[in-house]
Structure 1
């Protein structure tokens, strides 16, 4: 008997006992669907968080230092441009302008105040011409800060999407002037929003040339400094944060730290993978229950078809033919259950995963929103679930198949 005939016989046996076959598959269906839904949902939320961190800046390193002299920080900037040029692709200061008087930002008679009302706090920074690049901010209108703006201490600024929507609506803000700290600043560009331009998010921001800091704020001899550094490659992040940057500046500052969200993200992904493994393992228990169900139904099938087995053996069927027949039948039942489970699991993962994603985005308002993100199982997970369900059918079908092949033809033919 060839394998094609064996598969046909397996499908015929399943169709002859539809209800029993469906009930047998139920354990496999539930197990596969549960594993796919749980694992893909956890992996999906982990992927979403990675995309959100990448939206804030790929290979981004945040540097904070306190207690260094101005000369030390100038040496640090030169160190970034020269000795670390192969590991640092760009850097910018990120010095926050503290609006102690709560004057906020004003356009003509309309004001966005920094106080405890619902408008929240406007983040106003001093940066250089690379600020948009290191922060992964793209220009939606106008241009970014230039080196000439910084060198000439030009009173210009680039605003976030929230300020554009709040002050200008459908009108172009380019060339308009904002009042910041009692001074007029020309708007030269707008950064594309990461939070849909909502109030009290990181879109509520603006950037001015860092060379204006001394005229806008009082600075002391020992002053805190913040930088954003973009590493040339992901592989350089660990060396920069753990060795190169601290070794250069720690002895020159009272306090110094260099940190990258990618390191935290790696830890989060490792925890998510472990959680997915544990969740898949727990859900996989139902697969074992389904396998036991297959073994049980195949034993019943052997008992019901004892006479059929005896006839086949009497007309020349070999032991391996009988084993093959029942193994294929068990594998077909298991694979059919696996296919249905995969389909159900895809729907469940989309529903459960998107619910978890929506919940995570609602809770983590400090992370950018990602549009058009759908949780679906990976090809590897689908193939793995299918192959495991087939293997499960074969393993749990071995004992019934072996029992059927060991029947004596004479004894089998006596069975009514």
Structure 2
């Protein structure tokens, strides 16, 4: 009996070692392939991928007039993008732990290009909604590329890599509105979708040529893979804490960017073009992710989190004063964007370090909570603005931001108890 038990244990150890080697082998092979050129390509790819979800926002009036859409139908275009992206996070991103990642990324970029063409050709509101939702669904390719880059990177470079790729993603989201407005003046609202579709095809070809193959199969079927993704909230305490911090931070962030249009148009009397350019203030936040990534590599992840949550809360004092002073508003928005970008980088570094072999599922769970928080913040803003104006919005945003700091303090206390 003892001999049988020893043989069984030896077999289990051998099997575990083989599984570990199977997981680590592609990681070790792939890491040297992440040069500056490939990292830049991945950063640009993520920005172009997410940009399609924001093109419609400054074009709703043009779309509505040409396609004879009701106000309700036009508003649903933005909602369709949010719903499509959320579904993609839940249903597609976990596939990175099931299928070969290069094939998954390239397929999603190609599909996004096809759906952008469908949107550009839309003859009516129904097809426009369908194209928008499907484009958003597959645009989660960006969330496949981010953990892909982290996996290819050496551990001591993880923060810099996350910062570089996320800079591309954030710049894509921020500059999409400006690009769509400019291109619409040249050739109508469909132009930006055609241009982005071509760029997505080019990116897909480049990724197919330059990305190394990477396959770390989870050994699960798809339904079990999805169940295991959401089970991570139960089994990974740090994921729960960081997902909560991220959800509240994006809720606070979206409170600002949802309400600031009303403030600029009403109180300051800005035109739609000027309001679109105001989004460029957020570029400073996107660029700060590079510095945040380097600090994370030096072991300052917790410092980044604490500073990020504190600055996020304090920024709302200036943002609130921005109801009467443009300089306070600009200063507050700058600080808020830097804080949010640094905080996101710190959160991702913590999440990606937990269990490298299931990094795509961790990212899926984290990002689903992240964007659910953002959607909640946007919804609350529309209610509070009607009843309490800019003052109420500032209290709401500040309260959510303060919640991120409280959660971080509680995480520190509970995880070190």
What TM-score, normalized by structure 1, do the two folds share?
Answer: 0.26
- Looking at secondary structure, tell me which structure has more helix per residue: 2
Structure with the greater relative contact order (CA < 8 A, sep ≥ 6): 1 or 2? Answer: 1
What TM-score, normalized by structure 2, do the two folds share?
Answer: 0.26
The structure that has the greater radius of gyration is 1
